[in-house]
Amino acid sequence: MASDSAAKSPARKPLMPVDEAAARILAGAEPVGEDWIAIDEAAGRVLAADLVARRTQPPFDASAMDGYAVRAADVAAGAHLRRTGEAAAGRRFAGEVGPGEAVRIFTGAPVPAGADAVLIQENTRVLGEDAIEATEGVKPGANIRRAGLDFRAGETVLAMGTRLDFRTLSLAAAANHATVPVRRRPKVAVLSTGDELVPPGAEPGPDQIVASNHLGIAALVAANGGSVLPLGIAGDTVADIAGRIAQAVEGDADVIVTLGGASVGDHDLVAAALAREGVALDFWKIAMRPGKPVMFGRLGGTRVLGLPGNPVSSMVCGLVLLAPLVRALAGIAPVAPLVETGILGAPVRQNDVRRDYMRARIATGAGGTPVITPIPVQDSSMISAIAAAGALLIREPHEAAADAGAPCRFIRL
């Protein structure tokens, strides 16, 4: 695969930097649209508009504890109170709390008129059916949640762009939204290519392997707010690949991702297939390891990203180049993976012209500093290595050799 690359690119143009490639992929990427969906299907989705509370919470002064609604001025250690009724969550006490009176109350119940505090039941003794004794005093306002403590009707409780997770989804529901406006999930068509590939669970022939990249990429797309249009496995023919690209376009894909066939071997036919379908390539080959043969182009409004087939290359390129695009189209910020700083756990050599994303172990050093140690074998075919890695150590083009303990940058996996 690398052997004839010199022959095919005699001019030896400098490779495009990763950041420029990422910027070109992202250029003009806007959220792809909006939908109204039921709140019970909205987990993980992104709000397309500010959400305003449709009611006040709590809607009334509510008890925060189980105990007795009282007038604080009546209550001191040893005071006897007359129990006149009960207020439970969902069932208020209709009357008033008068001097010397107490109403049995439970958490979430409206505080009855006349009462200005809740005496917790731990600070009482039951004297009889309708008499109690306080064992301590209580301050006015104690154990009462005022109406609107949480939020008020008309208040903006969630901003446009918020992703609905377990917390924010609960807030949207509490604010009484049965349906919510969300960003449409960008549709990402995923195509594996290669005569050697069979789907997981099939019986591979003697020279075949199990295709795995498409599943990893699909999971990455979903985790970053996209939906997946599976295009299956194309054989290594221009016609098969081109036919499936056409299918993706018909299926209104926002992004088409091809896996494999991106290099310069005789059976790497993705570029030819894309050309047949009318894709204008913006770039092909970038200064990235793993991931040099990445290609990118557009077909009308559809972005087409060709990733190398080596599984680690697919995954690293997916994380660095595809996930940010999916996030931008889904309206999720920030789009770029977080780059953190730490120190090296082992020496590294001077880097060459490509930015390197080395599979590494991550440990916690003195003062909590992350210690990043590249694993010894960096072969881009090794799925077990990236699965076990905790981080990708980033090495810039031409970055000098560095010793253990030197500062470094990494992406946590």
Residues that bind ligand AMP (CB under 6 A): 192, 194, 196-197, 209, 211-214, 259-263, 265, 268, 308-311
44 alpha carbon, distance to own chain's centre: 7
Please state, in angstroms and rounded to a whole number, the distance separating the CA atoms of residues 79 and 72: 11
Residues 87-146 that bind Mg ion (CB under 5 A): none
Looking at the Cβ atoms of 189 and 259, the one nearer to ligand AMP is 259
| Partner from Mg ion, ligand AMP, none contacting 332, C-beta within 5 to 8 A by type | none
- Phi, psi angle pair for 5, to nearest 5°: -70, -35
Spatial CB neighbours of 279, under 8 Å, sequence gap ≥ 6: 245, 297, 298, 299, 304
The CA–CA distances, whole Å, from 373 to 198, 225, 339, 367, 406 equal 35, 31, 16, 17, 11
Least distance to Mg ion, CB of residue 27, Å = 29
Contact 193, 153 (CB under 8 A): no
| Partner from Mg ion, ligand AMP, none contacting 192, C-beta within 5 to 8 A by type | ligand AMP
Least distance to ligand AMP, CB of residue 197, Å = 6
| Partner from ligand AMP, Mg ion, none contacting 310, C-beta within 5 to 8 A by type | ligand AMP
Please state, in angstroms and rounded to a whole number, the distance separating the CA atoms of residues 386 and 404: 22
| Partner from Mg ion, ligand AMP, none contacting 209, C-beta within 5 to 8 A by type | ligand AMP
Q: CA torsion sign, 34 to 48 to 191 to 296?
A: positive
Residues 170-199 that bind Mg ion (CB under 5 A): 194
| Residue 370 binding Mg ion, by CB under 5 A | no
Looking at the Cβ atoms of 212 and 369, the one nearer to ligand AMP is 212
Spatial CB neighbours of 30, under 8 Å, sequence gap ≥ 6: 328, 329
Looking at the Cβ atoms of 309 and 374, the one nearer to Mg ion is 309
What is the pattern of x (binds Mg ion, CB under 5 A) and - over residues 284-313? -------------------------x----
Least distance to ligand AMP, CB of residue 65, Å = 58
| Partner from ligand AMP, Mg ion, none contacting 197, C-beta within 5 to 8 A by type | ligand AMP
Residues 249-268 that bind Mg ion (CB under 5 A): 260-261
Give all strands (DSSP E) within 267-321, no chain letters: 280-284, 288-289, 295-299, 302-307
Residue nearest to ligand AMP (CB): 309
Pairing of strands 101-105, 67-70: antiparallel
The CA–CA distances, whole Å, from 26 to 63, 87, 185, 299 equal 52, 58, 16, 15
Q: Which residues bind Mg ion (CB under 5 A)?
A: 194, 260-261, 309
